[in-house]
Amino acid sequence: MEALRIQNLKKAFGGLPAIADVSLSVQAGERRLIIGPNGAGKTTLFNLLTGDLPRDAGSIELFGAEVARLATHRRVHLGLARTYQIITLFPNDTLEHNVALSLLGLSRTRWNTFGRLPESFYREAHAVLARVGLETVAKRPIAEVAYGEKRRVEIAMALAQKPRLLLLDEPLAGLSREERAQVKSLIGAIPRETTVVMIEHDMDTALDMAERITVLHYGRVIVEGTRAEVVADPKTREVYLGH
Amino acid sequence: MRWIVAIALPALLPLVAGEYYINLASQIVIFAVFAASINLLLGYGGLPTLGHAAYLGIAAYVSALLQLKLGFGHWMAAPIAVLATTLMGGAFGLIALRATGLGFLMLTLALSQVLWGTAYRWVSMTDGDNGLRGLARPAPFGLDLNQAMPFYYFALLIGVVSIWLMARFVNSPFGATLKGARDQPRRMSALGYDVWLIRWIAFVYASFWGAVSGLLFVYYHKYIHPVSLSLANSAEGLLAVIAGGSGTLAGPLVGAAIVLLLKNWASAYIERWNMLLGFVFVFIVVFMPEGVVPGVQRLWKRFVSRT
């Protein structure tokens, strides 16, 4: 079954095509890496998939359902989750409250205007933070934790929603070698029920994590295949590896 | 404990204060409910409104017109006025929430100015600049509210219930989503929240409490004038929230007290009391930009840590 199917997707900013014409398909459970030089349209593609940006043309199917016209929050309720390249958390709230907000997003409790946020949300948030190794700092505000920990909170918030399709936008960006290893093993432990599509610049690390790789250049898919196929393709070497 | 003190102190006021101060306290309670309803939007929703007097004024006008033109009693007029105003808030929210930030501010201002202009010009209905007179206070369960003290306790009761319900609202799961939509709207959408709907519900809820303050307002004054719908009234409410501390429960109450004490008390002794009001706001913004309540808390923590 296809987790994601994109056909002839297009998006331009003021006449400049960021996504010129992208068609691709990701199978359920797959680990897909999207690479490409700066300005290739990788993050724009994610923003179109989530609905952060409206598309100009084309279709986006999520587990067989056309979602291109749906608002972002509706796509999330169909099983889509994402992390951001630039960390987007609630800096004054604790780590556990950030994750609890993520859990609340898919719960009917979010419409409760009178009661308190049930303790069960914090217990579950604590469990998710334990999965990413942050249970000891769960009660600290986001503003007081290190950058690498914030990255892991981003991933924890996405994982808390038990998504069917997870979009990771440069999850290793700005991390130390040790932190990269932690986040890499965290991504490696994501269950197969969750399809993972990841943008990453660090080729050495990212290539081992993907089963298939899509190379974007000037808003078009120029190469797609396994690691060996993509690395061997002269177009990849030309646009991405630089020789 | 804090709640008990916060209720007990004002409840004891009539035992030590004269009629003038009891009436002033009634006005502060009414204005505090109004400011707290603005705080729902500004402090918890990040939506700066300059048109909130519309809800106070319309509820007051509807209640007054139902009594004067149709002969309705308070038990009928009050819920109809609140319901009509809340429905209007729902419709205004559909328009105003097409924007955020300055755009939202301008739309709320424009909508309230339409109502203010209508109240001025529709003389056959509102008696224009003369306002609507000859209104009576309600007499719940036969209790005469025409004296200062019973009206004060009536206003205080409604005020306490209003503030308590608003406190429950902002501390609820929905309140958490409202604050999330204020701080990171894009992230909230990516977590599955309908940010627009969250803001609209908060807008409607705030207009409901604005309407409640309008009822208290018209009961207190027994008179309603277009100025109650004016930009100046909205701005005073907004200033009370900013001065007291937006996004805090106590802030609007303290802000309302500051504004009304300066307006009523200082104006009795100082001819240019508007200038004093301006200086006080400048002082607050310069030395406690987060507002008096958070500012005093910050200074107190610093004092305690030093000692």
pLDDT tens across B114-156, in order? Answer: 999 999 999 999 999 999 999 999 999 889 999 999 999 999 9
Helices vs. strands in chain B: H and E counts, helices first: 15, 0
Is the Cβ–Cβ distance between A62 and A3 less than 8 Å?
yes
Would the CB atoms of A73 and B193 count as touching at under 8 Å?
yes
Would the CB atoms of A52 and B189 count as touching at under 8 Å?
yes
Distance between CA atoms of residues A235 and A24, nearest Å = 18
Rg (CA), chain B: 19
pLDDT at A242: 62
Task: Compute the Cα dihedral for B233, B236, B242, B246 and give only its sign.
Answer: negative
Tokens 């104006």 label which residue?
A: B267
pLDDT at A243: 57
Q: How far is CA A242 from the centre of its chain?
A: 26
Spatial CB neighbours of A79, under 8 Å, sequence gap ≥ 6 = A62, A63, A163, A164, A165
Contacting residues of B for A101, CB less than 8 Å apart = 176-177, 180, 188, 191
At what angle are helices B101-121 and B231-244 packed, to 10 degrees? 140
**What single letter denotes the amino acid at residue A169?**
D
Spatial CB neighbours of B203, under 8 Å, sequence gap ≥ 6 = B41, B45, B47, B89, B90, B92, B93, B96, B97
Strand order from edge to edge, sheet including A65-66: A65-66, A57-62, A2-13, A16-27, A220-225, A212-217, A31-35, A195-199, A165-169, A80-82
pLDDT at B151: 97
> Can you list the residues of chain B whose pLDDT is less than 70?
none
pLDDT at A240: 65
Would the CB atoms of B186 and A102 count as touching at under 8 Å?
no
Would the CB atoms of B174 and A77 count as touching at under 8 Å?
no
Q: Tokens representing A70? A: 């749906």
Of B168, B180, B201, the CB nearest to A90: B180
The reported pTM is 0.93
Q: Tokens representing B129? A: 């600049």
Q: At B81, phi and psi to the nearest 5?
A: -65, -45
Task: Compute the Cα dihedral for B178, B180, B184, B187 and give only its sign.
Answer: negative
Contacting residues of B for A105, CB less than 8 Å apart = 188, 191-193
For B307, other C-beta atoms within 10 Å of its C-beta total 5
Q: Which ranges constitute the DSSP H helices of B46-100?
A: 53-70, 74-96
Residue A35's nearest CA partner among A180, A183, A162, A203 is: A203
Give B300's DSSP letter: H
Q: Tokens representing B89? A: 């808030």
Please state the ipTM of this predicted complex.
Answer: 0.93
Helix (H, G, I), strand (E, B) or coil at A27: strand
> Can you list the residues of chain A whose pLDDT is less than 50?
none
For A160, other C-beta atoms within 10 Å of its C-beta total 27
Compute the C-alpha angle B60/B61/B64, nearest 5°.
85
pLDDT at B179: 97
Give A140's DSSP letter: S
Task: Compute the Cα dihedral for B173, B176, B181, B185 and give only its sign.
Answer: negative
Distance from CA of A88 to the nearest CA of B (A): 6
pLDDT at B272: 82
Tokens 């078009």 label which residue?
A: A220
Would the CB atoms of B191 and A88 count as touching at under 8 Å?
no
